Every structure is written in structure tokens, then in C-alpha cells.
Homo-oligomer: A and B are copies of this chain.
Amino acid sequence: MSTGTTPRGGYAARVNDEGYHPDLPQAVVGRLARYRFVLDRLVAGDVNTVSSTVLAEAAGVPPAQLRKDLSYLGSYGVRGVGYDVHYLREQLRARIGDTTHVPVVIVGAGNLGRALANHAGFSGRGFDVLGIFDIRPTDPAVRPMGDLTGALTHPAETIGIIATPAGAAQEVADLLIDRGVRSLLNCAPTRLTAPPDVMIRTVDLGAELEILAYHRPMVPDAGLPGRGGVGTASREGSDLA
């Protein structure tokens, strides 16, 4: 992930040689997109100024984190006042884009694939779902795998979402990569291997559940089988939201 030019320790340089900002940390990108989304709503509601507290509250993050995140963009707030909603939104767009027309293909038309196709966070947020593909299309909205190549007019720009069963995931990934796709979101319960120039993010729902299961508070009186093994130290919960 590193550019090789990012200085060690401390933060990335504010502005690089070519006059624009260097890469943002991935976690920051994800949150900036959320802020942009919230700002869209504020614009629609004719709000002109927000403080970090209010914006952070609306986005569901701590105010300090919001300010830190925005500081990666530059200093666009006014001390003692807050942020100009339109201007900040503009700066966010200049930095992370607006994801309108980012092409996406979904492979696998089970419940998960269809859920993703309808997901509010996808088409509702500007992504352009080119199609949902399956080896065995069951309804007219689902296209056969053979159509995939034709649909990928700009494969290098396209994000592929893998929503197949675990057994087919690697094969589908290989196919997409062979067609030139360089960004994959893996929603199948398995891990994928790919060349280093392909970016893969995996959503591992099973792992999420396992983590929750491990950290459950142990209630001594429960009639249910507990963690299976001998006692465990864990007792406290934790809010990760």
C-alpha cells in the first residue's frame, strides 16, 4: 500500500512533489465517503454550516476522529465557527470523487448477490451496477456469465463483487482478473489469492460472528453450552461501532 515516498513515522507529507495530496489511509477513505454522504443530506436540507461535533454525530464517529480525518484534506474549516457545508463537500469530492458512474459487476445471484444489487449503499450512493451475473440465471434481471466480458467495457476501472458460494469464488476471481478487473470485493466465505496489483477486500461475515461469539459475556447460570472449553478470562464488552 505504501507509495515508497511516504516518510517514515509521523504522518504522510501534506502535499507531495506533484502538488496534490498523497494517498489517504484506507480507514480514512471509508469515513470520508460517509461524511460526503452526510453533507449531501445537509445540502438538501439547506444547512450552510456545521461544526465537527454535529457532523461527527450525524456520521456516527467521535468528533476528534472527524477532525483528524478532515485534516488529511487540508484546513477547510473556520476556527470558532465550523465548516461551510458546500465548500467542504466540494473538497471531499475533489479528493475522493463522488463515485457516480463507478462501474460495478456482481457475480453470483443468490440472495446475497441480489441483496447487494439492491443495497442502499451501492446504487443509492452512485455506483453504477452494470449487471448481476450467474452461471445459471434464474430470472431475466440476471445475466449469464458469458455476457460478463461484453459488459466489462472498462475493466480496469470496474469493481467486481464476488457473491458466489465459497467453492466458486477463486475461479470467478481468476476470471475477472483475466478480463482486466483490478478491484475485487469478496463476499464469499473464503480467502482469495491474486497478483499484487489486484486489490482485494474481503467481507468475512463468519469471522465477524466468531469474534462476537468469543467476546460474549459468560453468564454462569445459562443453560446453554458456553464457549465449549474451559473458562475464559473475557468478560467485558466493547463498542466497536
A199 within 8 A of B: yes
Q: Is A71 an interface residue (CB 8 A)?
A: no
Q: At the interface, yes or no: A190 with Cβ under 8 Å from chain B? A: yes
Interface of A is mostly: loop
Chain B residues within 8 Å of A193, by CB: 60, 239, 241
Per the bound structure, the CA–CA distance linking A26 and B33 in Å amounts to: 25
Contact A94 B185 (CB under 8 A): no
CB distance A241 to B166 under 8 Å? no
Q: Given A34-B207, A94-B229, A201 and B191 touching (CB < 8 A)?
A: no
Chain copies in the assembly?
2
A194 sits at the interface (CB 8 A): yes
Question: Are B208's CB and A185's CB within 8 A?
Answer: yes
Binding stretch for chain B, among A77-85, A140-148, A216-224: A216-224
Q: How far is the CB of A155 from chain B (nearest CB, A)?
A: 10
> Shortest CB–CB separation between residue A190 and chain B, in angstroms?
7
Task: Identify A119's interface contact among B1, B189, B222, CB under 8 A.
Answer: B189
In this complex, the member of A100, A191, A194 whose beta carbon has the largest number of chain B beta carbons within 10 angstroms is A191
B residues less than 8 Å from A118 (CB atoms): 110-111
Determine which residue in A20, A59, A186, A212 has the highest number of CB atoms from chain B within 10 A of its CB, and name it.
A212
Residues B60 and A101 in contact, CB atoms below 8 Å apart: no
Given known contacts A207-B31, A212-B159, A231-B20, is B238 in contact with A199 (CB within 8 Å)? yes
Smallest CB-CB A-B distances: 7 pairs:
A60-B191, A121-B206, A111-B115, A94-B229, A30-B207, A97-B228, A33-B210
Q: Which residues of A contact B (CB under 8 A)?
A: 1, 3, 16, 18, 20-24, 26, 29-34, 59-61, 93-104, 110-112, 114-116, 118-122, 125, 127, 154, 156-157, 159, 165-166, 182-187, 189-217, 219, 222-234, 236-241
A-B contact pairs, 26 of them (CB 8 A): A3-B233, A18-B233, A20-B231, A20-B233, A22-B233, A23-B215, A30-B208, A30-B210, A34-B206, A60-B193, A94-B230, A95-B232, A97-B226, A97-B227, A97-B229, A99-B228, A101-B224, A116-B205, A119-B205, A121-B189, A121-B206, A154-B222, A183-B212, A197-B237, A199-B215, A200-B241
